[in-house]
């Protein structure tokens, strides 16, 4: 069996690239691995999932303000109707020709009319995600809380997330219901 390419150096390249760019594709290219290798590691190397989530959170917390400004402008152009799509339709009309007495001659006059329709473009998901980040699945969100040291306790209708326990462990000092 071939030796795994997964090393601490490759992991460092992946995580550093994700922290700098927020792009998984750029990260696996920088580490000189394939997409399938990256996702295989993500599913088999348990701490990697949490480290990637932390790196993505770091990226989102430290994104260059100019990039956020560009994304906001792009989003606003979609949200406030400045993004337009123009379609030109050709409509063919056929009209029967008649003589002076109003009798059809059997000939037809064909005219082509062009109609221009301008409509707003709907906001694509990537515009929203580029500003506020992608939504995390619940399991990823809970794993992120756990990676940052929060305690996650399942409840019948959700989860109890606490930042620390004091005393006998029954009373959390701060709680959030998810």
**Helices 46-61 + 138-147 axis angle, to 10:** 90
Tell me the percentage of the chain whose pLDDT exceeds 90: 8
CA–CA gap between residue 97 and residue 111 (Å, rounded): 12
pLDDT at 16: 93
pTM over 0.75: no
Distance CA 43, CA 22 (A): 19
Q: Which residue has the higher pLDDT, 28 or 127?
A: 28
52 or 155, which is more confident: 52
pLDDT range class, residue 126, cuts 50, 70, 90:
low
The most confident of the ranges 84-88, 105-109, 124-128 is: 105-109
How many degrees, rounded to 5, is the angle at CA 142 between CA 141 and CA 143?
A: 90
DSSP per position, 72-101? HHHHHHHHTT--EEEEEEEEEEEEEEE-TT
Residues 6+ apart with CB under 8 A from 154: 160
Q: How many Cβ atoms from other residues are within 10 Å of residue 47's Cβ?
A: 9
Bridge partners of 90, per DSSP, are 114
Cα three-residue angle 102-105-108, rounded to 5 degrees: 105
Of residues 44 and 125, more confidently modeled: 44
């Amino acid at each position: 069996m071939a030796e795994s390419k997964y090393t601490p150096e490759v992991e460092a390249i992946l995580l550093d690239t994700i922290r700098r760019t927020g792009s998984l594709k750029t990260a696996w290219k920088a580490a000189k691995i394939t997409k399938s290798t990256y996702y295989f590691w993500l599913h088999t190397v348990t701490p990697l999932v949490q480290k990637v989530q932390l790196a993505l959170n770091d990226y989102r917390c430290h994104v260059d303000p100019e990039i956020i400004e560009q994304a906001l402008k792009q989003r606003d152009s979609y949200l406030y109707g400045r993004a337009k799509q123009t379609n030109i339709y050709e409509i063919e009309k056929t009209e029967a020709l008649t003589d002076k007495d109003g009798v059809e001659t059997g000939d037809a006059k064909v005219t082509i009319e062009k109609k221009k329709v301008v409509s707003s473009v709907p906001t694509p998901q990537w515009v929203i995600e580029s500003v506020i980040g992608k939504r995390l699945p619940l399991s990823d969100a809970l794993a992120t809380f756990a990676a940052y040291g929060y305690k996650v306790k399942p409840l019948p209708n959700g989860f109890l997330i606490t930042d620390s326990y004091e005393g006998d462990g029954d009373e959390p000092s701060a709680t959030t219901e998810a």
